[in-house]
Amino acid sequence: MKDIVLSGIRSTGNLHLGNYYGALSKFVKIQDTCDCNFFIADLHALTTNPDPQQLHANVKSILAEYLAAGLDPEKSTIFVQSDIPEIAEMYLLLNMHVGIGELMRTASFKDKARKALGLGSPEAGDGDDDAIERQIIGTDSNRRVNAGLLTYPTLMAVDILIQKATKVPVGKDQLQHLELTRRFARRFNSFYGVDLFPEPTDFDFGGAPVKVPGLDGSGKMGKSEGNCIYLIDDPKVLRKKVMRAVTDEGPKEPNSPMSEPVANLFTLLELTSTPDVVSHFRQAYADCSIRYGDLKKQLAEDILAVTTPIRERVQDILADESYLARVVRQGAEKARARASQTLREMREIMGIRPL
Ligand code: ADP
Ligand code: TRP
């Protein structure tokens, strides 16, 4: 039996190089060998209360970016999460088997709750777990953490289990959610003595997972970090971002170790350039003849060679509203067929039957 693959990206903004190398380009590669299902997680985006106009625009732009990067609706089922009403019903049913304690202990909840309450990071000695808990249930603050944020892992588990997916390609930050999904599946199966849900695992692409760094010297590229190169960045904007990337004073002695900002530039170069170009600049770094300006110019052009065809296709695809509507209608039909079957089975198992 072919693996059922499922993954989604929240509709919280345009896709960046991190999303592309960490997720989208991999989705494209596995389309021919697996039963692939890719969706836009707009219900998950609601947990941070986005502007409604913006949310709608983001769903459309991510769909166009999916298609422009090579997701093929003839090979993969591509859909919008909110087009599958069965997900909302199963979310209610599954929540009855999920503990608030285990949800409160997830790393992403603590992190997002901290942000929603305006607390700093625990490393800063600010907002330890007890403080967060007191603030969440306390009445001394008018800031609140919405219940959707708490039950985010239930919703994600439902996305996966309702399709009976077996492989879920996600980044490292999502592995805890996948672990919870397995736990919920196991718990449901054993509580009712059934074998309804398979336990999904991460998709093993071989090799180390990609972490695309930002251009600001440290950490990963991410929307909330404000350090992104977007797939649809205009060439002028993109060149400017790359030229402004943080570096250092340059190597003083042959074969010096690299500082993090410079190593990050090399990581990006390795992702986008040819091996010749990479080894040319590595050599220049090693013998101290490197000029970071040249490296950045080359890097900008090589990134543009990847993003330009995507950007151009995005513009065409966005202009074709009826095509976009057709893709998600067709995707929703397929995704709903499986979802409604699973929901029917689940209702029956739980004793929700017509009189
Ligand atoms: P962001 O961190 O920008 O909000 P998301 O959390 O929506 O992005 O991530 C969507 C997908 O893209 C996930 O599978 C995630 O692992 C991947 N991804 C995001 N940023 C990076 C990065 N810098 N490097 C590698 N993969 C990434
Ligand atoms: N939580 C994921 C993220 O933030 C997005 C997501 C929602 C997802 N549902 C999913 C990913 C189901 C894989 C499978 O990136």
81-100 confidence digits (pLDDT tens): 999 999 999 999 999 999 99
Query: What's the chain's average pLDDT?
Result: 94
- Residue 246 buriedness (CB in 10 A; 0-12 / 13-18 / 19+): middle
Let me know how long the chain is.
355
pLDDT number for residue 225: 83
Confidence of residue 197 (pLDDT cuts 50, 70, 90): very high
Neighbouring CB atoms inside 10 A of 79's CB total 26
Report CA(44)–ligand 1 centroid distance (Å): 14
Q: Are 93 and 347 in contact (CB under 8 A)?
A: yes
Instruction: Say how far apart CA 68 and CA 300 lie, in whole Å.
Output: 20
Report CA(153)–ligand 2 centroid distance (Å): 9
Crossing angle of helices 52-68 and 292-319, rounded to 10°: 100
Q: Which of 19, 38, 40 to mutate to test the pocket of ligand 1 (most atoms within 8 A of CB)?
A: 19
Best CA proximity match to 218, nearest among 178, 259, 190: 259
What percentage of residues in the chain have a pLDDT greater than 90? 83
Phi first, then psi, for residue 248 (nearest 5°) are -135, -165
159 CB within 6 A, ligand 2: yes
Active site residue 220: yes
Instruction: Say how far apart CA 209 and CA 114 lie, in whole Å.
Output: 27
Q: Are 198 and 166 in contact (CB under 8 A)?
A: yes
Q: How much is the average pLDDT of 34-50?
A: 96
Q: Per-residue pLDDT tens for 207-226?
A: 888 899 999 987 899 988 88
Phi first, then psi, for residue 304 (nearest 5°) are -60, -35
Crossing angle of helices 152-162 and 175-192, rounded to 10°: 70
Spot the catalytic one: 115, 211, 220, 297: 220
Terminal Cα-to-Cα distance of the chain (whole angstroms): 37
* CA separation, residue 56 to residues 78, 84, 107 (Å): 17, 16, 28
Tell me: pLDDT of 311 over 80: yes
Crossing angle of helices 321-350 and 85-95, rounded to 10°: 30
Q: Per-residue pLDDT tens for 95-147?
A: 999 999 999 999 999 988 888 888 776 665 555 677 777 777 776 666 788 99
Q: Which ligand is nearest to the CA of 222?
A: 1
* CA separation, residue 264 to residues 2, 59, 209, 248, 255 (Å): 38, 30, 15, 12, 17
What are the helix (H) ranges across the chain?
17-19, 25-30, 42-45, 52-68, 85-95, 100-104, 107-116, 129-137, 147-150, 152-162, 175-192, 235-243, 260-272, 275-286, 292-319, 321-350
Q: Per-residue pLDDT tens for 69-85?
A: 999 999 999 999 999 99
pLDDT number for residue 166: 98
Confidence of residue 246 (pLDDT cuts 50, 70, 90): very high
Report CA(45)–ligand 1 centroid distance (Å): 14
Q: Are 23 and 5 in contact (CB under 8 A)?
A: no
pLDDT number for residue 125: 52
Q: How much is the average pLDDT of 304-330?
A: 98
